[in-house]
Structure 1
Amino acid sequence: MISFRTHVVTLVAVFLALAIGVVLGGGPLSELGRGSEDADALRDDVAQARSEAQFGESFADDVSSTLLGKRLDGREVAVVTLPGADSEVLDGLTERIKAAGGEVTVTQALGSSLVNAGEKSLVDTLGSQLMAQLPDDTVTAGASTYERAGELIGLSLATSGEKSVEATPQSTAVAEGLRGANLLDAADDPSGRAPLVLVLLGDEVTGDGADAILGGLLSGMASQARGLVVAAPTADEGSQLDRLREGDALGDATSVDGAETAAGQVAAIAALARSYDTQGGSFGAGGADGTVPLG
């Protein structure tokens, strides 16, 4: 079966070839786009690639109810977004959580300052202050700046237990402290701290130590939840998610790329259901463990 990534690469190659023909005008590729047989063949390739890609999207939508059923029935999910996360993808994932029987307790956006390497001193100082106000062993002693921040975020919206639990004065104070420093965006109070967390990535985190920032936040959040799934756009070779996967920097988090597609979203929800009992794994368009967890 031709993968969605292959469809995308084919389309990019086709449009690039057409663009080169236009730029060169009277050059060796000037026959492209002038009714030549080559242009007709390229248009046929584009039409076929579009048709196959649309079939893949429609197929994923059609089988999602059969594949997912009510696998999240009775499960509560906290949704977290990073800066640059696609709102349409977020809406699609949220709807699929509900369709699978799950309930979203909160949708929490991380602030841009949290992933800005220039704000590390703020993240470190505030993390230390908030940690000092919590009972021993609530946050891992000796955790790095961003692992500790991730654990604190996880504490504010998640639980490692089997059922959702109410917020405590301590978890509420942590959330308020993080929001007060603009490390978390404003959000409605969660209806409970959920066992499952779905994190939607956006733009790649950049700057000094960018991989450590993102990896620390994700692994830290995962340590406070029963199950955490990272959903991301298609991860090309050498992309940030690809590097984090290869470096085992995600801790207990499960990763699924291709979330901009219907197939990727279905895979993310299947992974979320799986994470209740089984943590870790790499799925999706570029996943080392397959496209979708079926177990």
Structure 2
Amino acid sequence: MINFRYHVVSLTSVFLALAIGLVLGTAALNGPVVDNLNDQLSGLRKSNSQYRDRVEELEGAAKSRGSFVEQVATSTMAGTLTDKSVLVVQAQGAGPEDREGVVKMLQDGGATITGDVRLTNDFTDPKRDEALHDLSSQHVPVGVDMPNSGEGVDTASALLASVLLKGVDVSEQDRNNVLQAFAGAGFIVVEGRIVAQADAVVFVLGPAATDGEAGARNDAIVKTVKQFDRVCQYAVAAAPLAGDDGDPLVEMRNDGDLSDSLSTVDGVSTPEGRLATAMAVVEQFAGNAGAYGVGQGAKARVPQIRQ
């Protein structure tokens, strides 16, 4: 007679058989699966090592090329900017190493750096535009021609260009008054002392703005460069990249009137770009302008200069 104990024993036997089957099956599959996973892991490690070696190789090549450019820059630039003076203006968070690299190239050419002015974020802030306009209107020296657009960035840029660049006879006292007023209001930072009005200006820009007010800030940079270019015959703008439409450097290149007189350079974070920037200043003094680099709107890698 089949009783309850019989059923328990039978069910136990079935589950035991299933358990043994699972163990045996897992053991049978475990070897190939683990081997396959180990092979994949080994392949990934090998690929990763190859990619790392390739990156190191490319970095080494870039460093070697940069060193070569820096070595030939001295002979390329020698004597090209003798008796010329240049003002350097930093904006949009330009890196100090980019500014220093450009200055070195200019000095290799014999240029005198009259000073270094940095435009702060407040200068391009649309919320500060009215304050910028009011401040500018209060410090206009006699003989300085100001735009009548009513925009603070236009007015301020024209004023700064007039006191910092040759073209308008401005006294040292008037220049210092303007710079102190702008610095005191947080619109600019003046590094060191401005020794004189300069023959030319180089803008060293950072990346295009990308915040919520990017459009207004990028447009303000273009307007600033325009005003400096209007006051001074010799102007160059350089940035790390020339990206999409809306990027200040691209907009300058797309502006037909401005691009006829202004030279632009992308790649200023590289030795080649810094050399191209200094060469563009030489080009400006020769009465020419162009767009250089590898970004949107560039016409050549570097300017052609004749000694």
- TM-score bracket relative to the smaller structure: 0.7 to 0.9
CA–CA separation in structure 1 for the residues paired with 2:55 and 2:48: 11
Is the 1:81–1:201 Cα contact (8 Å) retained in structure 2? yes
2:246 maps to 1:236 = no
Are positions 1:248 and 2:244 aligned together?
no
Out of 69-78 and 91-100, give the one that drifted further. Answer: 91-100
Q: Which residue does 1:34 correspond to in 2? A: 45
Q: CA deviation at 1:187?
A: 4.0
Q: Is it true that 1:215 corresponds to 2:226 in the alignment?
A: no
- Structure 2 match to 1:158: 165
Residues 143 and 62 of structure 1: is their aligned pair in 2 closer, same or farther, counting only changes over 3 Å? Answer: farther
Q: Partners in 1 of 2:293 and 2:57 — Cα distance?
A: 23
**What amino acid maps onto 1:282 in structure 2?**
A
Structure 2 CA distance for aligned equivalents of residues 222 and 129 of structure 1: 23
Structure 2: give runs of 5+ residues left out of the alignment.
1-36
Written as runs of structure 1 = structure 2, the 5 A alignment for 1:109-120 is: 109-120=118-129
Match of 1:94 in 2: 103
1:181 to 171, 182, 185: 185
Q: Is the 8 A contact 2:280 2:289 kept in 1?
A: no
Name the aligned partner's letter for residue 210 of structure 1: R
The residue number in structure 1 matching 2:286 is: 277
CA distance in structure 2 between the aligned counterparts of 1:143 and 1:220, rounded to whole angstroms: 14
SS at match of 1:72: coil
Distance, in Å, in 2 between the alignment partners of 1:249 and 1:126 is: 31
Tell me: CA distance 1:246–1:166, structure 2 relative to 1, closer, same or farther (3 Å): closer
Give the distance between the partners of 1:111 and 1:167, measured in 2 at CA. 25
SS at match of 1:114: helix
C-alpha distance in 2 between matches for 1:138 and 1:190 = 21
Please provide the CA RMSD for this pair. 2.8
Determine which structure has more spread, i.e. the larger CA radius of gyration. Answer: 2
Identity between Structure 1 and Structure 2 (%): 20
Question: Following the alignment from structure 1 to structure 2, what is the Cα–Cα distance between the partners of residues 167 and 268?
Answer: 30
Aligned to 2:76: 67
* CA distance 1:123–1:31, shift in 2 (3 Å): farther
User: What is aligned with 2:176?
Assistant: 172
1:32-89 CA-partner distances (Å, limit 9, x unpaired): 5423xx3454344324322332232122112212221221111111111114221122
Give the corresponding residue for 1:54.
Answer: 63
Report the Cα distance in structure 2 between the residues aligned to 1:284 and 1:250, rounded to whole angstroms. 20
Who is 1:257 aligned against?
266
Matched positions, count: 262
188, 192, 196: which one aligns with 1:192 = 196
Partner of 2:302: 292
One-letter amino acid of the counterpart of residue 108, structure 2: A
1:200-248 deviation line (CA, Å, top 9, x unaligned): 1124345152232111111111212231111211333456135313431
Name the SS of the counterpart of 2:113 in structure 1.
strand
- CA change 1:238–1:141 in 2 (3 A) is closer
| Aligned partner letter, 2:231 | Q
More helix by share: 2
SS at match of 1:173: helix
| DSSP 3-state at the match of 2:219 | helix
1:270 Cα deviation from its structure 2 partner: 0.4
Moved more, 120-129 or 102-111: 120-129
Aligned letter for 2:199? Answer: P
